[in-house]
Amino acid sequence: MDLFVNEINPGQNLLPKDGIVNYFGPMVNQNQADFYFGQLQKTIPWEHDVIHMFGKRIVTKRKVAWYGDSPFEYTYSQSTKKALFWTPELMELKKLVEKLTEETYNSCLLNLYHSGEEGMGWHSDDEKELKRNGAIASVSFGAERKFVFKHKTTKKKVELQLGHGSLLVMKGATQEHWSHRLPPTKKVGTSRVNLTFRTIETN
């Protein structure tokens, strides 16, 4: 039986086992969320993502950007990116997320989805550069979208809606035992910006 999350309780673990996911709901008010949504779309140097799958080079419709404390590199899907330095808005959001989650982060991967028809397939954020079992904080602005977790062994799913200005945190063994995705939908015609704050091991 799949689980559908309706109530917001930041202290509640949404996963039944093998990981920790907390959903904080909106972390800023409506006006603040609108401001950051607009600024991120205007000020970030968005580029189409390039990934390599099954020996093929694929250019995605969604756009991405990569930021961090230093210009270190990050590799996923056989694509390597060098981090840009924080913008004022990203630094503000980073500090707020760190305060709410009581964690620290040194980098952020941003995704711009132009409409609901752009999504993300099943994956885990388990790249070798990431801190093992470290917290990953996901902040959403713009269109509300469904987000789904699936246990790698039992195939059990947990679904929730990520709202405008909301904060979701994944930590513990979540990436080891669960995959997640942003399913595409034709029901959403507006854009969404997603920020995932992470910790890259620099040693």
The pLDDT of residue 2 is: 63
In order along its 203 residues, the chain shows pLDDT tens digits of 466 656 678 889 999 999 999 999 999 999 999 999 999 999 999 998 776 666 676 767 899 999 999 777 766 656 677 889 999 999 999 999 999 999 999 999 999 999 999 999 999 988 888 888 999 999 999 999 999 999 999 999 999 999 999 999 999 999 999 999 999 999 999 999 999 999 988 76
Question: 4 in a domain, yes or no?
Answer: no
55 assigned to some structural domain: no
The model carries a pTM of 0.90
Q: Work out the number of other CB atoms within 10 angstroms of the CB of residue 171.
A: 18
94 contacts 86 by C-beta, under 8 angstroms = yes
Would you state the pLDDT for residue 128?
A: 82
Decide: 137 and 103 in contact? Cβ < 8 Å: yes
Residue 122 pLDDT: 93
104 within domain boundaries: yes
Does residue 76 lie in a domain region? yes
pLDDT at 193: 98
Domain with 165 in it: what CATH number? 2.60.120.590
Which sign, positive or negative, has the C-alpha torsion 44, 46, 50, 51? positive
**pLDDT score, position 161:** 96
What is the domain range of residue 178?
13-45+61-198
Residue 51 lies in a domain: no
Q: Say if 54 falls within a structural domain.
A: no
99 SS3 class: helix
Residue 2 within any structural domain of the chain? no
Number of domains in the chain: 1
Residue 203 located in a structural domain: no
Distance CA(35)–CA(26), nearest Å, equals: 14
* Predicted pLDDT of residue 54: 60
